[in-house]
Structures are given as structure tokens and as C-alpha cells.
Chains A and B, each alone.
Chain A
Amino acid sequence: MRATLWMLALLAWSLPAQAQPAYDPAEGSGLTLADFLDDKVTHEIRITINAKDLKALQDNFRDNTYYPANFSWRGITVENVGIRSKGRTSRRAGKPGLRVDLNRFEDQEFFGRKSFLLDNNIPDFTMMKERIAMEVYRRMGLPAPRETHCRLYINNEYFGVYTLIEATDKKFLRQWLDDDEGYLYEWEYLNQYRFQYLGDNPSLYSPIPFKPETNEKNQDAKPLEAMIRTINEASDADFVTAVSEYLDLKQFLSYLAVELYLSEYDGFLSEFGVNNLYFYRYDKKNLGLFIPKDRDNTFNGADFPVLKYVGDNVLAKRALAVPELKKHLTEELLRVASLCGGPGGWLDQEIDRIYALIQEDARKDAKKECPEGPCSVSESNDVFQRFIDFIKEFPKNRRSFVVKELKEAGYPLPSEVPGLEQGAVSNAAMEAAESVAPGSLAAVKGSGFGTEPSELTVLVGGVAAPVQSVTAGKLVVQVPWETRTGVAPLVVIRNGIRSEQINIKVETTAPAIFFVLNEAGERVKGEKPAAPGDVVTVIATGLGEVANRPETGAPAPAEPAATLLDTPAVLIGGVPADVLSAALEPGAVGRYRVAVRVPGGVAPGAETPVVIQAGGVASPAHAIAIR
């Protein structure tokens, strides 16, 4: 027994000591990292720093010297963090961009993260480019930091609207790539460098331009040299195979597609050479990928050139000489276009949403600048509004410009790329009605739809909406029964090529009338009027939930009928009619039959209005003849 105890004691002693978890003042607060990075609110962050340190930071804003400070958010204070000035061309004394290192002076974290960034939104006069651009990357499935806006107070002085940015660190890498033991490099700008081979000395590539951010003491830059050499020297025939050992080429082109679509001015392809990226090389592999950094130079206009600098960059030029990769870039550009959408699409709405969140704080921000530099608050407010108006134009015209440039450059665009018109979606019964209801029929107007429904997929809220009919300029789909009310994205995909994404308004009910039939099954109109006492059937859509509901796309059952849960009201000539039955039309998709008796008090007329009300919503009037 004693021997066993000794053995156990020895075993316990020989086990490696468990590392103490870092102190996290947010622990137990009931809040999470998602709350900290919540992009639905404008946060408030307060920093306390010794007044002399603040002056030193501002006087030496070009230095990377860390200063101790306390940082507070929603009542949680993190003491003794390290802050330093950050940025390259955006560095300012008056409104310094800041890097906040929680663990600079002690082993502590904040929601499990060791650092974050506070971007001063200079020189982005809209204050939102960086945040929107990173969101596009993430929506494309590409690793990019989460960002939101905050009001920053330093020593109780308002320093303005900042963008709070998640750090690209090991936790970020683990979350996105399931690997954090590899080598993360931050791109250190090298004048006019475009991935040319500089020689076989690895020190020509790291620490400039590939500046190590992880594994700093265990660096091996040889794979970087090998990557650049292969990019430059691999034969055309071997290019994809050889470079794929070092770089995920398709990921690179997806990364590039976002940058090009968003008209980045200072990214991978620019007149200045490569800039603003991280490169991550996986642990125990040569393979790596790009991660975006600093995207506040995006949205430079819908007509900003897309392919102008492709030929200057060795990697882009050689990759896009491969037909398969060229096709991939084209598809990815169209995917970005689809995601961003046109007028009323996701990007358009996102600009409006962020504007609503920040505009009040932005107008109070006395440290924001004008293009010429520091200026008065009223001048900078004019600039802010002017640039917001400018960026609002971007979703309207960018897609068509990109498609045009791709077409002119001979990129392999599909014969017709699906595109959506402004206000493209309406109720199929009466196209004036813009909202639709689950299960109802919607009309989508645009171009490039072809005529073959099997080539088309329409997604509403990510769920396939069955195509009922298609012509060159219009298609009719059933809004999936599963669609939630509110705003839902809609995108048309033809042979894998996506249209821009637009948002549609989905209500519980959105009634509209196709036509009214008499007992003989004929439409009630001029020559075939109905008389008071006749039973007529209103064929409509968007009347709401039914019992015995069929699957989305499936015809309605006859027996038992899919009757409406709430009986609608029908007014003929303003007089309420008795509703005899109300159910989905058996054998049809998305159409309802409502049988009513024409009331006795209806005055004769060739254009007597019929209105159907469901869920408290009235349809537009449909005219019938009453004798």
C-alpha cells in the first residue's frame, strides 16, 4: 500500500504542471466575446492613461512604444493593459489609432483574447469601409476579423468614433483554420514589391515583407523563399501543382475577388505593390493562405478598375493565365456581387444600418478629418455626409461595371449572367404589391434567366424557392413556406452563376388577387358579369397559413383541403360578402380559392372593386363586372 502511494505521489510529481489560465476580468460577467464585438450597437470604451504618457504617445505617434493604461467596457475594467499607436498612413497624434494588448504587463485576457485594435477611421471619411469590407470577407467564408464601432473616451475626453477590431491572433487562427501552431506573418510594406523573386537568401523575404507574428523565436523563412521562387520559376505546365504546395490558389483568388470587387486601393493589387495582408503558413506544412488587414481603402467608386494591376503582380498574373483559375476568379467576383446585391440589397442596407448606428456620434467627433487634413467639425460633418452619399452609389453600379470589365478582358463569363432589376420582386398576382408571404407566389424581374426552369435556382432566406415559370425577363417562384417574416435575401442562380443578392420583405400575409371566376369557371368581367346572390371564386395568393399544408413546391391537396386557419374577409363594391370556403387551390402551388356569395347591396358596374383581407392586410383592388 505504501509503495503504491509512493508511486502515485511520484507520478503526480512527474506530471507536467498545468499552466494557470490567464486572468480574465470579464469572466463571470455574464457577457461574451460576441457581446463585445456585437455589431448591432455602438459600444463605449474608456481608457485611462497617465496624462504624461498620453502626451508622449501623441508626441511620438510614429513610435510603437507601449504605455500602461486601464480599459473599461460595460462596467468591466481591465487594469494595466498596454496601448500603442498603430497604423501606417493613418497614424495621427490627435486621434491616434491604438493597439490594445491586454497581456502586455501581466498574464490576462479579455473574453479569452489577448489584444484588439481601435482603428481611428482615418482616412476613411465614411468611417465604415473597413468594417463592411471585413464582413464581406467573412460572408464569403474567408477568414477576416469581426469588427464593430465604438465611442472612445480617453481620460474622459471624447476621442471620436473608432472601429473596434478583433485581433488576428492565435485564437482567431484556431477559430477559422483549426490550427494555431503555424507561422503567422504580418505584411510589412516593401516598396513596389509584387512577389518577384529576390534571391535565394531567406532574409530577403523575412522579416520584411513577411514579418513574423507567431513563432518569432523559431523562425524558418526558407519556405517563404521557396514559395516565391516557385511562383516565379515554376513552368506554366507545373504552375498549379507546384504553387499549390505553398498556397491555396483558389482561396487566394477568392480573397482577391473580394478586394477587387470592393475597389481596394491599397491591397494585393495596387499601384504601390502588395500591401495590407497577413499570411499564415500551417504548422508542419509549407501551405499557407492570405488573411486581409486594413480594408479602409475600399469602396473607391463603382467604376474603379478591377483588373488594371493584375499584370504587374507575378502571382496574380501567372495564376490568371491558368484558365481554370481565371474561371474561378470570375465566379468568385460574381459571388461577391451577388452577396453585396444591388439597390436595396445587403450592402445597401448594411450601409444604411451602420449609418444609423454611428451618424450621431460621428457628427460629435471633433477629431475626424477632411481630405485636406484637420478641419472644423461642421466641415468634417459635410465631408462625412458627402462620402456616405458617395458610398451609397456603390451597390447601384458596381456589379454591372465589374461584369463589363470582365467581359471586355475576355474573362469566361457565362453567356448571360442573371441580374435583378431595381424593385425586382413583387407579389405574382398584382405586381404593384411589393411584399410577399410564405407559401405565396412571387414574381422576380431581371435578365439572364433563360427559359429553362431546370437551369435556375432561386434562394429565399437560403431556402430554395420552386420556380413555377420563367421567361427571359421574369420568373415566378413560390416563397418557401419556411420563410420567416421580416427581411429575407433573395438570389437567382443560373447554371451556378449567381445574381446579386437583394432583400425582400416577407409578411405573414400579403394578399393579392389573380382573378375572380364564376360558377362556370369563367373569369368575371365585362361580358360575363356576376349578379348579387351568385357564388364566385376569388383566386388569390398570400393569404397566410393553412391546415394540412403541403410541402414547399408541392401541389395543394384536394381531400382534405388545405383550409385557411383564419377566414379572410372579402369586400365587393365595398360590401362584405359571405365567405363560403377558403383553402389552397387543389393541385396548384401557392394559389388560394375563396368562394363568396355576391352581396345583395352591390351596385351594378363594369369596374366593381373586389378586395380581400387576410391577417388585417387588404389586397389591392381587383375589378369585376356586376350587373
Chain B
Amino acid sequence: MTGRAAVFALLAAFALPAQDTQHEKAEKEPDDNKNVRFVWKKHPSLRFGDWLRVDFRARFQLDWSVYDPEVKGTPELFNLERRRLAVEGTFLKHFEYEISRELAQTDFPWKDVYGNFRYFRSFQVRGGRFRIPFSMDQLTGPTNLDFVERSRIADRLAPNRDTGILLHGPLGERGGVKYQFGYFFNDGDNAADRFNQRTGENTWAGRVTGNPVEFLRQDPGLFKDLTLGVAYNTSHVPEGLWSLRGRTVSDETFFPYFFVNGRRSRFGTEFEWLPGPFSLKSEYIAAREERKGQGLSGQDLSDLIARGFYVSGTWVPTGQPKAKSLSKGRRVPFISRKGWGAIELATRYEYIRFGSDGGPGRPSRSTRAANVLGNSNRLWTFGVNWYLNQWTKMQGNFVREKLEDPFRSPIQGLQTFWSYKFRLQLAL
């Protein structure tokens, strides 16, 4: 049996309606007297008394992508996008940990590798490699995304994972405000250069989210699942061809690396509202990068500026509430003898633009232009998500992109591109 066939068999097995399994029976009959026991609740888990818990997690995502017009030569129609294995759990009473590694082809195979010390609920300390707290969309795990691809601003402007230390926790009596503040050695995987070298150094990041309605000490009602957030981070970028880069859904460059030198800062706001079977989300991100001494005569150039936003909405016509079941991993099994699971319709509009903060002379595409000729991408995404059960999800998206500058397009002269994406996802 080939590796691909084995994966298909595994996927098929996951796609079957959920049954009461031996694992669930086992869960119902725990043997508390044993020091080591195996439990399968949400995930397979080993418990070593009270002092160690090891949860086993796995995620498989099989993608099928078609680009029109074709931009990548003969397309790889099927692509095992993710084969991720992870262990997570607790150690003693106050330590949490997670170790995850990607087995599919990727630039950074080690994903989350961190420990979390939770002695005080409001002052937890996390150390290791994990996501820099910036951008709601970027911080959402791939299992729980409403679309096959993250928004362009989350994918290109948010920093993603790095190694560092984070102070975080909920504040207030009801924990209505959550904060994260940390220091990271570099500036995240998304800001890596073409040789996968991380570009920024000494990143300071902070993010605060919360539900303002909770402060009213009234029943928030419809606004119970409303979250607003703001985030900022700053790092130093040494001299080099290391700016943030614009890429299309097909991963083609529409705004290349520019020479930068100095401070890179990002500012973001976020909004999420999940009333019943609906959701409405939006983010705005602006990034600014200094270009000290990068002119043709060694003069300082105006800052590079990248900014964008997205607005997305979903509706579950089958009626399941988004916040309690579909979002953030809090799913319930849907497909069973009683039904076919949950169907969700989703749409997103987004815009991202790269350029400079003015500058003398004619706008140019030169990597040392004083006045950078900008380029933008406007995208519409329409999608359907089918949650077969708590482990299995199928997603279909079609995306329309329109680039501003036909000269910096995957196919020079063309501005409009379509992408069709289908994903089958299994997650333990």
C-alpha cells in the first residue's frame, strides 16, 4: 500500500459516522486505582496518576487546489498540506506543555514547542516556541479556520511563531479581558526571508482582547460572544532585502522583498462576534518598516507601509451555534444516525496593499525607490464548510483576486485570478 493510499484509507475511516467506540467505553470505566491509564475523550490520552498527562493529537489536511489561469505550471492537484502530530498535557499541577511537529513538507517543521507555568491564573508565563500574540486570524489554529486559507493580512503581515517568553492571562473577576505581553528573539516565521532566515530581532509584542459588554454587569445577551482586540509589536530589522512581502493565494509574489533597515512595527485591531449560528469577524493590520540608509546614495528612504483588512461572515443554516460548537474546537459530533452534521456558508472580503510613506520622485518598483510604486490585492472568498463530526471537516472555497499592478502579477499583464480550493480535514 502506498503512502498516499494509506492516507486515503485513514481519511475514509475518519469520515465514517461517529460510533460509540471501545475508547468511549473505556472512558466510562476508568480504573482510578491504576497509576498509568489510557483515556480517549477528545483525544487519546495517557494519565500517569495526577502528576503527568499526555494527550496525543494529530491533524491531517488533504488539499486540492486549482488556479485559473494556471500560475504554477502543472498544478499539484492533490497536496497533503498538513500531517501534524502533537503531544500536549500537564505536568505536576501548574505546568502545561505542547510539542507539535509537522511531517509534511514545510519550511519550519517544529510548530509549537513550549511550556506554560500557571500558578496564578492572571499571571501565567509561557516559554518556548509559539505564536507571537498578533492577529486573531493568525492565532486561530488551522483546524478551526472558516476558510481554507487565512486572510492575506494574517498570512503576510502577522508574524506567526517564534521563540520567546510570554506573560499572559485573563484579568478581572470574570476574566473578560485577556492580555498577552512578551519578548521574542526574532520576528516570526511569516517574516522570514527567501532563505527562511528570520529577519527581525528582539521583538516586543502585546495584545489585549475582551468583551466590553461584560463590564456592564448586565446580561450581555446577543453580545455575549463579542470580542474586541488590539495588538502591537515592534522589532529591529537589520539591513537587507528583508521587507514583508505580498503574495497571492497561489503563493506567487505580487510585492517583492525591499531593502529595509531599522524598526518594523505592526499594529492591529480585531473584532469577532458570534451570535448564534452566525459569525462576523474583521481585522485591520498596518505594518511599517524603516529604510535607514537604503537610498542609492546611502540616504534614508521613506518607510515601507503595508496595511489591509478583511471582513468575513458565516452562517450555519443547519442551526448549530457557532461559538459553542463550531468555533475554537468546541465541537460536538454532528454526523450520526440522527443527521448529517453541520453545513456552514462563509464569505470574506479583504484588501491588502504594500507601498511607501510617500517619498520624492516618480513612484517606482525599484527595491531602493524613494517613492515606492505600491501594489494591492483585493479578494473575495466564498465557501462552504461541512462538519461531518467532531474530527472531520470538508471545506470548499473559491477565491477571486484582483491585483492593482499588472506588471507585478503572477502572469504579467493579468490582474484577475481565480483559485478553487477544497480541503478534507481530520483532527484528533
The answer on A and B forming one complex is yes
Other than A68-B368, A79-B362, A106-B365, give 5 A-B pairs with Cβ distance below 8 A: A50-B297, A53-B368, A79-B361, A80-B368, A106-B366
B276 within 8 A of A: no
Contact (Cβ within 8 A) B363 A49: no
Distance to closest chain A CB from B371 (angstroms): 9
B298 contacts the other chain (CB 8 A): yes
A567 within 8 A of B: no
Contact of B407 with A by CB under 8 A? yes
Question: With the chains together, A69 CA to B362 CA distance in Å?
Answer: 14
CA distance A48 to B298 in the complex (A): 10
Question: Which residues of the partner chain B approach A108 to less than 8 Å between Cβ atoms?
Answer: 362
CA distance A604 to B298 in the complex (A): 88
**In the assembled complex, which residues on chain A have CB atoms less than 8 Å from the CB atom of B294?**
50
Contact: A106 with B373, CB < 8 Å?
yes
A133 to chain B, nearest CB (A): 35
- CB of B298 within 8 A of CB of A79, answer no
Per-residue CB proximity of B349-367 to A under 8 Å, as 1/0?
A: 0000000000001111111
Task: Tell me, in angstroms, the Cα distance from A106 to B367 when the chains sit together.
Answer: 11
List 13 A-B pairs, Cβ < 8 Å.
Answer: A49-B296, A68-B364, A68-B366, A68-B369, A79-B361, A79-B362, A80-B366, A104-B366, A105-B366, A105-B369, A105-B373, A217-B411, A217-B412
A69 & B296 in contact (Cβ 8 Å cutoff): yes
Question: Are B298 and A50 within 8 A (Cβ)?
Answer: yes
Q: Given the known inter-chain contacts A79-B364, A80-B364, please indicate yes or no for A50 contacting B373, CB distance below 8 A.
A: no
- How far apart are the CA atoms of A23 and B369 in the complex, in Å? 16
**A residues in contact with B368, CB < 8 Å:** 50, 53, 68, 80
Indicate whether B295 reaches chain A with its CB closer than 8 angstroms. yes
A82, CB-defined interface residue at 8 Å: yes
Q: Which residues of B contact A82 (CB under 8 A)?
A: 366
Distance in Å: Cβ of A391 to nearest Cβ of chain B: 38
Which residue of A23, A50, A106, A217 is within 8 Å of B295 (Cβ)? A50
In chain B between 401 and 419, which residues have their CB closer than 8 angstroms to a CB of chain A? Answer: 407, 411-412
What separation, in Å, do the CA atoms of A82 and B364 have in the docked complex? 11
Q: Provided the pairs A79-B361, A79-B364, A80-B364 are in contact, do residues A107 and B407 lie with their beta carbons within 8 angstroms? A: yes
Residues of B close to A217: CB separation below 8 A:
411-412
Docked-complex contact B363 and A106, CB < 8 angstroms:
yes
A17 at the interface (CB under 8 A from B): no
Q: Contacts of B363 on A, CB cut-off 8 Å?
A: 106
CB of A297 closer than 8 Å to a CB of B:
no
Interface residues of B, count at CB 8 A: 20
Q: Which residues of the partner chain B approach A11 to less than 8 Å between Cβ atoms? A: none
- In this assembly, does A613 line the interface, its C-beta being within 8 Å of a C-beta of chain B? no
With the chains together, A48 CA to B295 CA distance in Å? 10
When A106-B373, A107-B407 are in contact, do A50 and B296 touch as well, CB less than 8 Å? yes
Task: Look across to chain A and name the residue whose beta carbon is closest to the beta carbon of B373.
Answer: A106
Determine which residue in A49, A104, A105, A108 has the highest number of CB atoms from chain B within 10 A of its CB, and name it.
Answer: A105
Given contacts A80-B369, A105-B369, A107-B407, contact A68 B362 (CB under 8 A): no
Q: Does A51 have its Cβ within 8 Å of any Cβ on chain B? A: yes
- B239 — nearest CB in chain A belongs to which residue? A52
With beta carbons under 8 angstroms apart, the residue of B298, B364, B411 that contacts A105 is: B364
Pairwise interchain contact A48-B373, C-beta atoms closer than 8 A: no
A80: B residues at CB distance < 8 A: 361-362, 364-366, 368-369
Interface residue? A70 (CB, 8 A): yes
Taking a contact as CB atoms under 8 Å apart, the answer to whether B296 and A106 are in contact is no
A-B contact count (CB 8 A): 51
Q: Please give the distance in Å from B62's CB to the nearest CB on chain A.
A: 32
Distance (Å) between the CB of A343 and the closest chain B CB?
Answer: 49
Within 8 A of B (CB), among A16-67: 23, 48-53
Which residues from chain A contact B373 at a C-beta distance below 8 Å? Answer: 105-106
Cross-interface CB contact of A106 among B297, B362, B412, cutoff 8 Å = B362
Q: How far is the CA of A104 from the CA of B365 in the complex (A)?
A: 8
Closest B residue to A216 by CB, please name it. B412
The docked-state distance in angstroms from the alpha carbon of A217 to that of B411 is: 9
Give residues of chain A (99-122) contacting chain B, Cβ–Cβ below 8 Å: 104-108
Chain A contact residues, CB within 8 Å of chain B:
23, 48-53, 68-70, 79-80, 82, 104-108, 217
Distance between Cα atoms of A106 and B362 in the complex (Å): 9
Q: Is the CB of A51 within 8 A of B298?
A: yes
Q: Which residues of A contact B369 (CB under 8 A)?
A: 68, 80, 105
The contact of A70 among B259, B296, B367, by CB within 8 Å, is B296
Chain A residues with Cβ below 8 Å from B361 are 79-80
Residues of B within 8 A of A (CB): 239, 259, 294-298, 361-369, 373, 407, 411-412
Contacts of A106 in B (CB 8 A): 362-366, 373
A23 touches B365 (CB 8 A): no
Least Cβ distance of B175 to chain A in Å?
51
In Å, the complex CA distance between A80 and B373 comes to 11
Quick check: A48 and B296 within 8 Å, CB to CB? yes
Contacts of A53 in B (CB 8 A): 368
**B299 nearest in chain A by CB position:** A50
Which residues of A sit under 8 angstroms from B298, Cβ to Cβ? 50-51
Q: CB distance A68 to B407 under 8 Å?
A: no
Q: How far is the CA of A49 from the CA of B298 in the complex (A)?
A: 9
**Interfacial chain A residues near B239, Cβ < 8 Å:** 52
- Assembled-state Cα–Cα distance A217/B259 (Å): 30
Asked if A23 and B362 sit within 8 Å, CB to CB, the answer is yes
Residue of B whose beta carbon sits closest to that of A81? B366
Q: Is the CB of A68 within 8 A of B367?
A: yes
Assuming the contacts A68-B368, A105-B369, A106-B373, asked whether A48 and B297 have C-beta atoms less than 8 A apart, the reply is yes
Measured in the bound complex, the distance between the Cα atoms of B364 and A69 in whole Å is: 12
Q: Which 4 A-B pairs have the closest CB atoms?
A: A105-B366, A68-B366, A80-B366, A80-B364
Hey, which chain B residues are within 8 Å of A51, CB to CB? 298
Q: Which residues of B contact A52 (CB under 8 A)?
A: 239
- Residue among B259, B365, B369 having the largest count of chain A Cβ atoms under 10 Å: B365
In the bound complex, CA of A49 to CA of B296 (Å): 5
- Chain A nearest CB from B334 CB (Å) reads 48
State the CA gap A70–B295 with chains docked (Å).
11
Q: Please, how many angstroms separate the alpha-carbon atoms of A108 and B365 in the complex?
A: 11
The chain A residue sitting closest to B259, CB to CB, is A50
Bound together, the chains give a CA A239 to CA B177 distance in angstroms of 87
A347 to chain B, nearest CB (A): 42
In Å, the complex CA distance between A333 and B165 comes to 80
Interchain nearest-CB distance for B186 vs A (Å): 23
| Alpha-carbon distance A52/B363, docked complex (angstroms) | 22
User: Which of chain B's residues have a CB closer than 8 A to the CB of A49?
Assistant: 296
Closest to B295 in A: A50
Taking CB atoms, residues of chain A closer than 8 Å to B296 are: 48-50, 68-70
Q: Which residue of B lies closest to A50 (CB)?
A: B296
Q: How far is the CB of A492 from chain B (nearest CB, A)?
A: 55
Question: Which residue on A lies nearest to B368, using beta carbons?
Answer: A68
Nearest-neighbor residue (CB-CB) of A68 within chain B: B366
Alpha-carbon distance between A115 and B407 when the two chains are bound, in angstroms: 17
Please report the C-alpha to C-alpha distance between residue A108 and residue B366 in the assembled complex, in whole angstroms: 12
CA distance A69 to B366 in the complex (A): 9
Question: In angstroms, how far is the closest chain A Cβ from the Cβ of B111?
Answer: 34
Instruction: Determine how close the nearest CB of chain B comes to the CB of A153; give it in whole angstroms.
Output: 14
A217 to B363: give the CA distance in the assembly, Å: 27
Whole-angstrom CA separation of A49 from B412 in the bound complex = 27
B413, closest chain A residue (CB): A217
On chain A, the residues within 8 Å of B367 by CB distance are 68, 105
Cβ-closest chain B residue relative to A77: B361
With a cutoff of 8 Å between Cβ atoms, the chain A residues found around residue B412 in the complex are: 217
A293 CB to closest chain B CB (Å) equals 25
Complex Cα distance A104/B362, Å?
14
Q: What residues of A have a CB within 8 angstroms of the CB of B411 in the complex?
A: 217
For the complex, give the distance between the alpha carbons of A332 and B294 in Å: 55
Report A-chain residues with C-beta under 8 Å of the C-beta of B407. 107
Kindly name the residue among A50, A69, A82, A217 whose own CB sees the greatest number of chain B CB atoms within 10 A. Answer: A50
A51 to B367 Cα, complex, angstroms: 14
In the assembled complex, which residues on chain B have CB atoms less than 8 Å from the CB atom of A104? 365-366
With CB as the reference atom, state the residue of chain A lying closest to B407. Answer: A107
Looking at the assembled complex, report how far the CB atom of B290 sits from the nearest CB atom of chain A, in whole angstroms. 16
Q: Smallest distance from the beta carbon of B193 to chain A beta carbons, Å?
A: 15
List the B side residues contacting A70 at CB < 8 Å. 296
